Amino acid sequence: MIKLRRQSLVAYGKPLCETVAECPIPRGSEVLIRVACCGVCHSDLHVQDGYFTLAGDKKLDITKDRVLPFTLGHEIAGVIEAAGDEAEGAAVGRHVAVYPWIGCRRCAACRAGEENMCSAHHHLGIAADGGFATHVLVPHPRYLLDYTPLSPSFAGPLMCSGLTAYGALRRLTDRASRGPVMLIGLGGVGMMGLTLARTLFSEPPIVADIDAEKRKAALAAGAGQAFDPADPQARKAVMAATGGLFSVCDFVGSEKSLQFSTGVLARGGKVVVTGLLGGNFSIAAAMIAIKAITIEGSLTGTLSQARELTELARAGKISPIPIQTRPLDQAQAALADLRAGRVVGRTVLAA
């Protein structure tokens, strides 16, 4: 019997630790993946905590979604190790990235192809055991994406940080012909957004971040202009430079970032929000109609968008972001570093 070694969440708010179980045997359409690597993501911290911070002391409890011990990790790339007898096309030895946002396939969202928005989801590493492990069980081969000639450490993170940026930018395609897109917040997702925006849109994106180093890195990576949203004159400067923006991506999702992102919109402009930092945001209600603005949330992306994104990457149209690889048994240390803000780019755990 193969052993399944996992870095498990055994109690909320506590460090991960290794647990060992029998490796599951795939049945029916199931496929067993031997994990090559799994990216470490900010949302892993929220699952470890068991809550999201909403505003002030208010928290969104997310402990009811899973049974402990539980395996985090949703940015998975690996090799097919075994497959059930109904798993068509799941040839043993095939290198695949795993689309983790797996839905029930019955609800309205799933039927519309938006399994990432499923109301009774089985998202890997969130509700079903994920990739901080030697192996992960995937319910159907449709969720497996070929990634060669990319490295697994590039392909895995595409499924969350890449897809989050891609899904958000795709919500702005109808407005991007009217002027540059602005990207607010230049962490891992924001920097992925920058490289994608340069591929998807004709004009170089404008960026905003409170960190001067990140602005510098973004300009070096092809951003057209960079602004410091903490500067009280920043809004005026953006309006003077652009006349107001039609497309803004807010990768921060805080009171301040939303005030800034809605403040720089032109009439008819749209903000897509993917960030989860938290806080309460208010806006003069009449301004929504007067400026005809749209504020739209975006949660990762669909399976078909994951395929599009992976194909763009395989075609060499996406610059890789910096990746640090650490062994699987350093999962807790990697989470702690991410929590402390000590990480540049993406960390992946190699099983």
The residues that touch Zn ion, with contacts defined as CB under 5 A, are 41, 43, 103-104, 107, 110, 118, 160
Least distance (Å) from Zn ion to the CB of residue 122? 9
Least distance (Å) from Zn ion to the CB of residue 44? 7
Question: For residues 103 and 185, which CB has a smaller minimum distance to Zn ion in the complex?
Answer: 103
Least distance (Å) from Zn ion to the CB of residue 41? 3
Question: What distance in Å separates the CA atoms of residue 153 and residue 281, rounded to the nearest whole number?
Answer: 36
Count the Cβ atoms, other than its own, within 10 Å of residue 330: 17
Question: For residues 103 and 301, which CB has a smaller minimum distance to Zn ion in the complex?
Answer: 103
Q: Which residues 6+ apart lie within 8 Å of 31 measured at CB?
A: 80, 82, 83, 84, 87, 90, 137, 138, 140, 141, 144
Question: What distance in Å separates the CA atoms of residue 331 and residue 73, rounded to the nearest whole number?
Answer: 10
Question: For residues 38 and 160, which CB has a smaller minimum distance to Zn ion in the complex?
Answer: 160
What's the helix, strand, coil split of the chain in %, to 5?
30, 30, 40
Least distance (Å) from Zn ion to the CB of residue 160? 3
Question: For residues 38 and 351, which CB has a smaller minimum distance to Zn ion in the complex?
Answer: 38
Q: What are phi and psi of 331, to 5 degrees?
A: -55, -45
Question: For residues 23 and 41, which CB has a smaller minimum distance to Zn ion in the complex?
Answer: 41
> By CB neighbour count within 10 A (0-12 exposed, 13-18 middle, 19+ buried), where does 258 fall?
buried
Least distance (Å) from Zn ion to the CB of residue 30? 18
CA angle 52, 41, 77 (to 5 degrees): 140
Count the Cβ atoms, other than its own, within 10 Å of residue 11: 12
Question: For residues 26 and 187, which CB has a smaller minimum distance to Zn ion in the complex?
Answer: 187
Least distance (Å) from Zn ion to the CB of residue 119? 6
Question: For residues 163 and 312, which CB has a smaller minimum distance to Zn ion in the complex?
Answer: 163
Q: Which amino acid is at 194?
A: L
Least distance (Å) from Zn ion to the CB of residue 110? 3
CA angle 153, 157, 159 (to 5 degrees): 130
